[in-house]
C-alpha cells in the first residue's frame, strides 16, 4: 500500500498483483469488488501469471536471480580511473555518472538517503511527507485513502559515494496483526549525482467493503543487490468509506 500526510483521500517497475484466498471462502465478491460483511477471511496479494508458460519463465528467472553474485564493489574513483585511456569508455562513464568530482572521497559503500515519501491519487492529489518522519507524526496515520481508489507511491532520494545496484522496495502491510499484502518493486541501478532521484511506483487500488476499512500498519524496506538495507520505514494509513 514497489517511497505522506494525513488527508482525505521512476523509471521503476512495481509488482502486478491479484487477490488470492488465504482461508477458505470468498472475502471479496469478484463481480462487485465488495468485501462480504459476514466473512472474516483475509486475502494477500501474489504475483499474477497469465499461463503455464509464464510460470515456467518465472521459475527460470527466480532460479537465475537466486544464483546471481554481484561483482566486487570498488570505490567510485577507482571505477572512473579504470580504463581511462579508452576514450569511448571514458565518455560512457561520464555520461553514466555525470559530474561527481565532489563525491570522490574514497568511500566504497554507496549510500541512499531518502528525502521524502509521497502518495499520488486523483482522489486527493499529491501529498508529500519529508523523511525522517517528525515525532509528532510518529504513530499516526501518514495518509488516508478512500476505498476503491487508485494511487501510487512516490519516492525522492539521493545516491552518494558509489553506484547502488539493484535497489528494491518491499512494502508489507498488516491489518489487525495479520499480513494482508506484500509487494516487491525493482527500482533499478543508480549512480551518485547532485540532483535527487524521483521514482513513482506502479499504480495500486485500495480494497472495497466494510472489512477493508480501518487502520493498517506497514513497513517499507529498501535493499540493494549486496543485501545492504538503506531504509526501513514503519508507517500506518487509514482506508475510509467511499462517499
Number of Cβ within 10 Å of residue 26's Cβ equals 13
Cα 12 from Cα 198, distance rounded (Å): 10
DSSP for 154-214, please give it.
EEEEEEESS-EEEEEEEEEEEETTEEEEEEEEEEEEE---SSPEEEEPPPEE---SGGG-E
pLDDT over threshold 90, residue 32: no
Which residue is listed with cell 488470492?
Answer: 20
Percentage, residues of the chain above pLDDT 70 = 56
| C-alpha distance from residue 231 to each of 67, 73, 168, 186, 219 (Å) | 25, 20, 11, 15, 10
What sign has the CA pseudo-torsion 181, 17, 209, 123?
positive
pLDDT tens digits along 49-101 = 444 555 555 565 555 545 556 566 566 666 666 666 777 766 666 666 655 55
Write down the domain spans for the chain.
17-73+112-240, 74-108
The overall average pLDDT reported for the chain is 73
Cell numbers found for residue 139: 504513530
What does the pLDDT read at residue 23? 34
Cα 117 from Cα 196, distance rounded (Å): 13
Across the range 213-230, mean pLDDT stands at 95
Cα 220 from Cα 1, distance rounded (Å): 10
Q: 238, 146 in Cβ contact below 8 A?
A: no
Cell numbers found for residue 131: 523523511
Cα 165 from Cα 213, distance rounded (Å): 38
Selected residue with higher pLDDT from 2 and 43: 2
Burial of 61 (0-12, 13-18, 19+ CB in 10 A): exposed
pLDDT tens digits along 96-155 = 665 555 555 556 677 899 999 999 998 889 999 999 988 767 678 889 999 999 999 999
Domain 17-73+112-240 has CATH 3.40.50.970: no
Cα 236 from Cα 132, distance rounded (Å): 14
What does the pLDDT read at residue 44? 34
How would you classify residue 83: left for phi > 0, otherwise alpha for psi between -120 and 50, otherwise beta?
left
H-only helix segments in the chain: 52-67, 76-81, 87-97
Which residue is listed with cell 470468498?
Answer: 26
Amino acid at each position: 500500500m514497489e517511497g505522506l500526510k494525513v488527508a482525505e483521500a521512476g523509471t521503476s517497475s512495481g509488482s502486478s498483483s491479484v487477490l488470492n484466498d488465504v482461508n477458505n471462502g470468498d472475502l471479496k465478491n469478484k463481480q462487485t469488488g465488495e468485501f462480504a460483511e459476514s466473512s472474516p477471511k483475509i486475502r494477500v496479494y501474489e504475483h499474477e501469471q497469465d499461463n503455464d508458460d509464464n510460470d515456467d519463465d518465472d521459475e527460470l528467472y527466480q532460479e537465475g536471480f537466486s544464483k546471481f553474485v554481484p561483482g566486487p564493489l570498488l570505490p567510485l574513483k577507482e571505477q572512473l580511473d579504470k580504463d581511462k585511456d579508452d576514450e569511448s569508455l571514458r565518455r560512457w562513464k561520464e555520461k553514466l555518472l555525470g559530474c561527481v568530482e565532489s563525491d570522490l572521497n574514497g568511500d566504497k559503500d554507496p549510500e541512499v538517503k531518502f528525502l521524502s515519501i509521497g502518495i499520488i491519487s486523483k482522489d486527493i492529489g499529491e501529498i508529500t511527507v519529508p523523511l525522517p518522519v517528525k515525532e509528532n507524526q510518529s504513530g499516526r496515520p501518514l495518509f488516508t485513502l478512500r476505498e476503491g481508489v487508485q494511487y501510487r507511491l512516490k519516492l525522492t532520494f539521493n545516491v552518494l559515494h558509489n553506484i547502488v545496484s539493484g535497489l528494491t522496495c518491499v512494502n508489507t502491510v498488516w491489518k489487525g496483526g495479520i499480513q494482508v499484502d506484500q509487494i516487491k518493486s525493482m527500482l533499478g541501478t543508480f549512480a551518485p549525482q547532485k540532483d535527487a532521484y524521483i521514482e513513482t511506483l506502479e499504480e495500486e487500488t485500495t480494497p472495497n467493503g466494510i472489512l477493508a476499512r480501518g487502520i493498517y500498519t506497514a513497513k517499507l524496506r529498501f535493499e540493494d543487490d549486496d543485501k545492504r538495507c538503506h531504509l526501513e520505514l514503519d508507517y500506518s494509513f487509514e482506508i475510509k468509506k467511499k462517499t
